[in-house]
Structure 1
C-alpha cells in the first residue's frame, strides 16, 4: 500500500481546527438563535462563551431531532462548509470531550477529515479492518470501501447523531477511528520492517508520523465511546 503520510497533516480530529483552513470571516449560522451568538465576533468572556457553547449545541441537536425537513438536516450536516470552521471552532472547540459541544466539535471535524482524505482513508481501512475485530461491523463500512463510501459514511455518522440515536452515532464514530488507527499502526510496522530490510533509518520512512496519528485517533475513539456512555446515562451536557 502506498499511503502518503502527508495526506493526514500533523494534527488530529481532536485538535481545535488545526490542519483545517479557517476562512477568517465571521458569519452567523441561520439555524442558530441570533441572541446566542451575537457577541462572538467582538469577543466574550470564557464563562459566557461556555454557556453559549452548551446552549447552542443542545439547541441545534434538539431542533433537528424534532424536524423531518431534509433541507434542515442538510444545512446542519454541512455547517462547516457553509459557515466556516472558524465559527464552529469558536462555538465548540474548547468544549471538553465529555461535553455535548466537545463531542459535536469532534464529530464535525471527523466528517471534514474523512471527506478531505477519503482516498487514503479507504486504503487504510482495508489494512486495519482485518485486525480491528468487531469495530468494523459497528462502523458499518464494507471490507473494501471506495473513497465515495468513506464520504458517505462520514455523512451517515454525523447525520445519524442528529436524526437517529446519538449514542449509536458516537459508537460508530469510535469504531471507525479504531479501525483507521489499526490501519495506521499496521502501515507504520510495514514501513519499519521495510527500512530494516534495506538497512535504512526508520525515521526516514514516515513511520513515526503514522504512529502519532494512530495514537491520536485511538484517543478520539475513546472520547466518542465515553460520550456515548454519558449520553445513555443522561450525563452528557
Structure 2
C-alpha cells in the first residue's frame, strides 16, 4: 500500500466514499490491505506495532485510508475498519460534542450504553479511551466484541443526536436528524460485521 502525506478529512460522515478509477483493482487492494493489517496485528505481541496500527489516521492520513477503504461495502473488513477509524477521529477531534450526544442518548438506550462500556456521564477522556480500546480490540482480543462495542456506542450517540437541540431551526434540525440516521446505520452495519467475523465471513 502506497502512503501519501496526511491530508485532513473532517469526520462529518462515517459513510463518506471516495470513488476509485479502477474498481476491481481498488477493491482487491482494499480487501488485501485490510486483511494484512489485521492479520499482522493479531499475530504480533509488539506494543509498538499495535500503536502504529491504531495511529494510522495520524501517520498516513485519514484521506489515504479513505482512498483505499471508504468505497467498499459497509459489511466488509475494509468497510468496518474505515468506519472504526473515522469514529475514532471524530471522538479525538470533537470529544465534547460527542460526549454531549452520548449523554443525551444514554438514558434512552441504556442497554447499548452498558454494552459500549462507557461510564455515564462520560468525560471527553472516557470517550477517547473507549475508541482506543475498540481499535486495540481489532488487533488483539476479540474483534467481534470491539465491533459490538463500537456499534453500541454509535447507537447511543445517534439516539442523542436525534433528541438534541429539538428547538433548533428546521434546516439545522433536519441536518442533525440526517447525521443521527447515518450513525444509526453505521451501528447496524458494525453489528452485522461482528456476526460475520464470528462466522469467518468478514473479508
Q: TM-score, normalised by structure 2?
A: 0.89
Partner residue of 2:82 out of 78, 89, 105: 105
Partner of 2:14 in structure 1? Answer: 13
Shift of 1:188: 4.2
8 Å CA contact 1:188–1:211 kept in 2: the answer is: no
Of stretches 171-180 and 81-90 in structure 1, the one that deviates more from structure 2 is 81-90
Shift of 1:45: 2.6
1:157-211 superposed Cα distances (whole Å, 9 cap, x missing partner): 111111111111110110000000111112143x26xxxxxxxxx426x222221
- What is the rounded CA distance, in whole Å, between the counterparts of 1:10 and 1:165 in structure 2? 26
Partner of 1:215 in structure 2? Answer: 181
Partner of 2:190 in structure 1? Answer: 224
Shift of 1:91: 1.4
Partner of 2:5 in structure 1? Answer: none
Partner residue of 1:174 out of 151, 173, 176: 151
The 3-state SS of whatever aligns with 2:164 is: helix
How many correspondences in the alignment?
193
8 Å CA contact 1:178–1:218 kept in 2: the answer is: yes
Partner of 1:203 in structure 2? Answer: 170
- What is the rounded CA distance, in whole Å, between the counterparts of 2:11 and 2:116 in structure 1? 25
Partner residue of 2:54 out of 70, 77, 84: 77
Give matches, 1:23-102, under 5 Å. Answer: 45-102=22-79
Shift of 1:123: 1.6
Shift of 1:86: 2.1
- Greater Cα radius of gyration, structure 1 or 2: 1
Structure 2, unmatched stretches of 5+, are 1-9
RMSD over aligned Cα, in angstroms?
A: 1.8
- What is the rounded CA distance, in whole Å, between the counterparts of 2:16 and 2:49 in structure 1? 27
Shift of 1:133: 2.4
Partner residue of 1:183 out of 145, 155, 160: 160
- What is the rounded CA distance, in whole Å, between the counterparts of 2:21 and 2:175 in structure 1? 37
Shift of 1:10: 9.1
Q: TM-score, normalised by structure 1?
A: 0.77
8 Å CA contact 1:125–1:179 kept in 2: the answer is: yes
Structure 1, unmatched stretches of 5+, are 1-8, 18-42, 193-201
1:120 and 1:48, CA in 2 relative to 1: closer, same or farther beyond 3 A? same
1:167 and 1:10, CA in 2 relative to 1: closer, same or farther beyond 3 A? closer
Partner of 2:139 in structure 1? Answer: 162
